């Protein structure tokens, strides 16, 4: 993001005088905790799907819409929330979104029917998309000049939630019931709201935030080309990721738990290295999707556990570099309208999650897991090539 100093730049939306005193990382930790709770809530239905479906009287396939509904709501919310709340303090918005997530999980926990459950999940989609749109700017406001660390911290929270959320949700659901698991998620979202209220200072909205900012961001051709690459890489991953267990089972059904753990180990390391390499943003943005494509191809062709282990670790590692790389890329290319740039990035991810998982299911039913892995690899490599040919403004 262009500035006149040699220090790492900060988007204009976050270039507000920091609170007096020594900088503290507590707000960033609180923001990361919040996104971790939101993402864990997003994928919680996958942990308890059979019991949830049986209890509310729908098939497991229909119950799977609980995840898709969240993504669809997020795709609609990300570009519109700043338009609807152009002048509201971003701290207030973030706290309200975490409260909405707590209410969403509570609604699911007590839902008497699938319809009520879906309403709760739609509310969660609003909370996730809105939080993602504002969290980066709030973090760089609290800790100016450390964009790469803020982005890595937020993505690290997502990785931890992805690695631990599903297995822990499954354990809790099996032990005390799926409704209790959602009740616990509601409590944790409420706790994250309290932590953020204590840690995060006021974050005034940018003077041009709203529809004007969004319109001007949409006119940035380089930004929109990058958003197209975001769609490609997220589409490629989520055409394959929902079916990773099937790919593992084809090689060794007994290795599933360890392979998913290996994916998680790679996933935790990815954001950390991406933050360290953020000084070479163009190369990072190109390399992460290409490495992801290589991992998907290696998974498709693996015939032994050692080879599959390498593929799965690389998969988790490469994909979890992508959110850091893409967030930094869009805010570098559109530094004056970073809030809208991130909102468009979030929208691209949510659309790609929905479309990718849907097409992946069709390919799986018609042609098996190998083809969907190859299709996913093609999309991610295309994204990497696209970013390789796009220049990024210097910091």
**208 and 114 in contact (C-beta within 8 Å)?**
no
pLDDT per residue rounded down to tens, the chain (395 residues):
333 333 333 343 333 334 444 558 899 999 999 999 998 898 788 777 778 888 888 876 677 677 777 878 887 887 777 777 777 888 999 999 999 999 999 999 999 998 899 999 999 989 998 898 888 888 888 888 777 788 788 888 887 887 777 677 777 887 888 899 999 999 999 999 999 999 998 888 765 556 767 777 778 888 888 889 999 999 999 888 877 877 888 888 887 778 877 888 888 888 888 878 877 878 888 999 999 999 999 999 988 989 999 999 999 999 989 988 888 888 887 777 777 788 888 888 888 887 887 787 777 777 878 888 999 999 999 999 999 988 776 65
Q: State the distance between the two ends of the chain, measured CA to CA, in whole angstroms.
A: 5
Q: Is the pTM of this model over 0.85?
A: no
Quickly count: other Cβ atoms within 10 Å of residue 277's Cβ. 17
- Among the listed residues 273, 307, 309, 306, the one whose alpha carbon sits nearest the alpha carbon of residue 288: 273
- Among the listed residues 97, 351, 124, the one whose alpha carbon sits nearest the alpha carbon of residue 238: 351
The CATH classification of domain 210-395, taken from the options 1.10.3720.10, 1.10.10.10, 1.20.1250.20, 3.40.50.300: 1.20.1250.20
Question: What SS3 class is residue 390?
Answer: coil
* C-alpha to C-alpha distance for 380 and 231, rounded to whole angstroms: 9
Question: What SS3 class is residue 285?
Answer: helix
CATH fold of 7-209, please? Growth Hormone; Chain: A; (1.20.1250)
Question: What SS3 class is residue 365?
Answer: helix
Q: Give the residue extent of every domain in the chain.
A: 7-209, 210-395
* C-alpha to C-alpha distance for 277 and 280, rounded to whole angstroms: 6
Same fold, 7-209 and 210-395: yes
């Amino acid at each position: 993001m262009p500035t006149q100093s040699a220090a790492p730049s900060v988007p204009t939306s976050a270039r507000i005088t920091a609170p007096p005193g020594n900088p503290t990382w507590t707000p960033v930790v609180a923001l990361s905790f919040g996104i971790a709770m939101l993402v864990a809530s997003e994928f919680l239905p996958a942990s308890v799907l059979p019991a949830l479906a049986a209890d509310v009287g729908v098939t497991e396939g229909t119950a799977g819409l609980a995840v898709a509904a969240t993504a669809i709501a997020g795709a609609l919310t990300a570009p519109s929330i700043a338009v609807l709340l152009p002048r509201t303090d971003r701290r207030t918005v973030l706290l309200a979104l975490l409260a909405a997530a707590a209410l969403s999980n509570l609604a699911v926990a007590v839902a008497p029917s699938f319809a009520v459950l879906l309403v709760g999940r739609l509310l969660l989609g609003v909370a996730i998309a809105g939080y993602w749109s504002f969290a980066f700017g709030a973090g760089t406001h609290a800790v100016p000049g450390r964009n790469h660390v803020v982005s890595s911290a937020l993505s690290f929270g997502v990785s931890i939630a992805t690695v631990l959320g599903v297995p822990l949700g499954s354990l809790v659901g099996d032990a005390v019931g799926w409704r209790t698991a959602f009740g616990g998620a509601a409590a944790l979202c409420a706790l994250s709201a309290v932590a953020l209220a204590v840690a995060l200072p006021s974050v005034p909205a940018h003077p041009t935030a709203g529809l004007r900012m969004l319109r001007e961001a949409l006119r940035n051709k380089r930004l929109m080309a990058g958003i197209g690459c975001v769609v490609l890489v997220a589409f490629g991953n989520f055409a394959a990721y929902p079916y990773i267990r099937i790919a593992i089972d084809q090689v060794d059904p007994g290795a599933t738990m360890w392979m998913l753990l290996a994916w998680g180990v790679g996933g935790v390391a990815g954001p950390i290295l991406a933050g360290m390499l953020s000084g070479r943003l163009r190369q990072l943005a190109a390399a992460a999707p290409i490495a992801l494509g290589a991992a998907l191809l290696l998974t498709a062709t693996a015939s032994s556990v050692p080879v599959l282990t390498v593929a799965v670790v690389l998969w988790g590692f490469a994909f979890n570099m992508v959110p850091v790389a893409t967030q930094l890329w869009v805010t570098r290319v559109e530094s004056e309208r970073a809030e809208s740039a991130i909102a468009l990035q979030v929208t691209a991810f949510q659309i790609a999650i929905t479309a990718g998982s849907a097409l992946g299911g069709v390919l799986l039913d018609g042609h098996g897991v190998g083809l969907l892995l190859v299709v996913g690899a093609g999309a991610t490599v295309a994204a990497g090539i696209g970013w390789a040919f796009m220049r990024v403004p210097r910091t």
